[in-house]
């Protein structure tokens, strides 16, 4: 939108795309209000919501003059545990508040810049037609308010952002959000709607380095993000902040990407999107695993929750999820449905090179040798550790800073070995503290039988200066 005039598409824009549209959809005649029409419109103030909330669906079947009031605020907030950042924001949070209007509405926008701001700010709404998407009409010095208006001509989910030079820096500091222009006929009803917006951050210190971290222009230019997060900070959608829904409900995610640099490969682990409004437009794609959300773009995804569990929102450029923060959780509560997802049904010993595959149903004795004493347990446990745990916790148990906590000398299970058993059989997510450092990540449950869990945890207890002791298969069983 902002670049429209520069690349010269302003002139041809009216012709070519319009012809296509007439053939493809109901948008053939964009509703345009005259100034006389606008004077007669009912006036209402927009309901704006902070992420992950979404304003209620539009109930009107006619156009209105919608008054939107937003304030730009520069403030220091948490980027990750122990890490602060001087964010520039719309309405005090990242992303800015969600705006919801109807196709054909007339939006009267009031942008105030807080008197404590050091910078002028403005707003470029990708859902507005006009120079800079409103940027020119909304340039606002600290302690001032600007007003401009536009007609929401085309339905879709659009990004808005600040576009004051240096534009990249205003966006990198958090100045973006979403505006939904509902089509006239509305969107189909769903049970839950959420607002999720990705952004990349560039700090002088590397990921997790504590303290107030200044913006790093060099890294931003090289596109070497230290943080890639949903809704403005690491953990904004995990632990107590996880999104919540119930089995049987339909969920709609309004997903935006503020950038400034990175394209998101948006994916929800364990779900398939029934529908994706591609790039936030009118075309619907179905049965999608991962959808691209460009910087300065959006997508609407919809799915029905069939079985309970934690569904993990990620940027599937996966190091961003597990090492830079682009991870959120949607918790679905409700009845299991083993016909849709069984959980692990059985484990069998696999003997390659022509030998028979031996079944190992749960009710029969395991074919693998059973450890007779603690020493045998430790020995068997090492092999299990190397195969199942070392990739994350490292062969020497030291973990990876800010990603995988140490098992060597860990005080997390020092007084209660069963906490280590629980981590393996149930998985572990949310905020935990290990040796004074916070972790807020996800460890998936590891599929091992009781004997194997007993062995691997006994190995961990007797390695790297840990407390010693033994865990038996019966103790593991009692924790399932």
| Closer Cβ to ligand HEC, 159 or 229, answer by number | 229
Among the listed residues 234, 236, 201, the one whose alpha carbon sits nearest the alpha carbon of residue 219: 201
Helix (H, G, I), strand (E, B) or coil at 201: strand
- Find out whether 62 is annotated in a ligand binding site: no
Distance CA 391, CA 340 (A): 30
Q: Is 207 in the site for ligand HEC (CB under 6 A)?
A: no
412 binds, options ligand HEC, Cu ion, none, Cβ within 5 to 8 A by partner type:
ligand HEC
Q: Is 425 in the site for ligand HEC (CB under 6 A)?
A: no
Q: Which long-range contacts (CB under 8 A, 24 or more apart) does 55-63 make?
A: 55/98, 55/99, 55/100, 56/100, 57/100, 57/182, 57/186, 57/187, 57/189, 58/100, 58/101, 58/102, 58/182, 58/186, 60/102, 61/184, 63/31, 63/33, 63/37, 63/102, 63/104, 63/105, 63/106
- Find out whether 70 is annotated in a ligand binding site: no
Element (H, E) at 375: helix 374-388
Q: Is 443 in the site for ligand HEC (CB under 6 A)?
A: yes
Footprint on residues 400-419 left by ligand HEC (CB under 6 A):
404-407, 410, 412-413
Q: Are strands 43-45 and 65-80 parallel, antiparallel or unpaired?
A: parallel
| Closer Cβ to ligand HEC, 54 or 460, answer by number | 460
460 binds, options ligand HEC, Cu ion, none, Cβ within 5 to 8 A by partner type:
ligand HEC
Helix (H, G, I), strand (E, B) or coil at 311: strand
Residue 220 beta carbon to Cu ion: minimum distance, rounded to whole angstroms: 15
Q: Is 388 in the site for ligand HEC (CB under 6 A)?
A: yes
Among the listed residues 437, 440, 407, the one whose alpha carbon sits nearest the alpha carbon of residue 424: 407
Residue from 31, 57, 292, 434 that binds ligand HEC (CB under 6 A)? Answer: 434
Residue 246 beta carbon to ligand HEC: minimum distance, rounded to whole angstroms: 24
Question: What six digits make up the tokens of 396?
Answer: 């020497």
112 binds, options ligand HEC, Cu ion, none, Cβ within 5 to 8 A by partner type:
none
- # residues contacting ligand HEC (CB under 6 A): 29
Residue 441 beta carbon to ligand HEC: minimum distance, rounded to whole angstroms: 4
Q: Which long-range contacts (CB under 8 A, 24 or more apart) does 370-374 make?
A: 370/451, 371/451, 371/454, 371/455, 374/458, 374/462, 374/470
Residue 149 beta carbon to ligand HEC: minimum distance, rounded to whole angstroms: 48
471 binds, options Cu ion, ligand HEC, none, Cβ within 5 to 8 A by partner type:
none
418 binds, options ligand HEC, Cu ion, none, Cβ within 5 to 8 A by partner type:
none
Q: Is 428 in the site for ligand HEC (CB under 6 A)?
A: yes
How many angstroms separate the Cα of 82 from the Cα of each of 68, 75, 79, 224, 234? 35, 16, 8, 21, 11
Q: Is 392 in the site for ligand HEC (CB under 6 A)?
A: yes
Residue 399 beta carbon to ligand HEC: minimum distance, rounded to whole angstroms: 6
405 binds, options Cu ion, ligand HEC, none, Cβ within 5 to 8 A by partner type:
ligand HEC
Give the CA angle between residues 359, 445, 404 to the nearest 5°. Answer: 135
Write out the residues near Cu ion by the rule CB under 5 A: 121, 162, 164, 170, 175
- Find out whether 121 is annotated in a ligand binding site: yes
Q: Is the peptide bond before 298 cis (omega within 30 degrees of 0)?
A: no
Q: Is 83 in the site for ligand HEC (CB under 6 A)?
A: no
| Closer Cβ to Cu ion, 74 or 105, answer by number | 74
| Closer Cβ to Cu ion, 174 or 381, answer by number | 174
Distance CA 177, CA 65 (A): 21
Q: Is 439 in the site for ligand HEC (CB under 6 A)?
A: yes
Residues near ligand HEC (CB under 6 A) are: 388-389, 391-393, 404-407, 410, 412-413, 420, 423-424, 428-430, 432, 434, 439-444, 446, 456, 460
Pick out the residues of the known binding site for Cu cation.
121, 126, 161-162, 170, 175, 316
């Amino acid at each position: 939108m902002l670049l429209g005039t520069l690349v010269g598409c302003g002139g041809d824009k009216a012709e070519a795309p319009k012809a296509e549209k007439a053939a493809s959809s109901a948008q053939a005649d964009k509703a345009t209000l005259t100034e006389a029409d606008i004077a007669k419109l009912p006036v209402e103030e927009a309901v704006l919501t902070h992420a992950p909330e979404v304003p209620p669906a539009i109930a009107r079947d006619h156009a209105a003059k919608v008054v939107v009031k937003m304030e730009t605020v520069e403030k220091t907030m948490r980027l990750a545990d122990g890490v602060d950042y001087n964010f520039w924001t719309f309405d005090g949070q990242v992303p800015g508040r969600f705006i919801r209007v109807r196709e054909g509405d007339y939006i009267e926008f009031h942008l105030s810049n807080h008197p404590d701001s050091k910078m002028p700010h403005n707003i470029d709404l990708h859902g507005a037609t006009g120079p800079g998407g409103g940027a020119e009409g909304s340039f606002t010095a600290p302690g001032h308010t600007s007003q401009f208006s536009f007609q929401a001509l085309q339905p879709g989910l659009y990004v808005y952002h600040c576009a004051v030079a240096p534009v990249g820096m205003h966006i990198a500091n958090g100045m973006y959000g979403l505006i939904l222009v509902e089509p006239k006929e509305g969107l189909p009803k769903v049970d839950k709607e959420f607002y999720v917006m990705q952004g990349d951050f560039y700090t002088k210190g590397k990921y997790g380095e504590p303290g107030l971290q200044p913006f790093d222009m060099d890294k931003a230019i090289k596109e070497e993000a230290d943080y890639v997060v949903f809704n403005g900070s690491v953990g904004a959608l995990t632990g107590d902040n996880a999104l919540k829904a119930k089995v049987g409900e339909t969920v709609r995610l309004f997903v935006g990407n503020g950038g400034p640099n990175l394209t998101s490969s948006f994916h929800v682990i364990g779900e398939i999107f029934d529908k994706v409004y591609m790039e936030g437009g009118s075309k619907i794609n179905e049965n999608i695993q991962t959808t691209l959300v460009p910087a300065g773009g959006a997508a609407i995804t919809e799915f029905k929750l069939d079985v309970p569990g934690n569904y993990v929102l990620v940027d599937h450029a996966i190091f961003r999820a597990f090492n830079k923060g682009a991870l959120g959780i949607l918790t679905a509560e409700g009845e299991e449905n083993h016909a849709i997802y069984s959980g692990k049904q059985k484990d069998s010993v696999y003997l390659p090179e022509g030998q028979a595959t031996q079944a190992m149903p749960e009710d029969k004795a395991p074919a693998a040798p059973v450890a007779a004493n603690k020493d045998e347990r430790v020995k068997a446990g090492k092999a299990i550790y190397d195969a199942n745990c070392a990739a994350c916790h490292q062969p020497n148990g030291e973990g990876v800073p800010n990603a995988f906590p140490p098992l060597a000398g860990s005080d997390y299970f020092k007084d209660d070995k069963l906490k280590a058993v629980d981590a393996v059989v149930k998985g572990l997510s949310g905020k935990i503290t290990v040796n004074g450092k916070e972790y807020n990540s996800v460890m998936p449950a590891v599929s091992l039988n009781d004997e194997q869990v007993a062995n691997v945890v006994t190995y961990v207890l007797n390695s790297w200066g840990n407390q010693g002791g033994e865990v038996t298969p019966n103790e593991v069983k009692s924790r399932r």
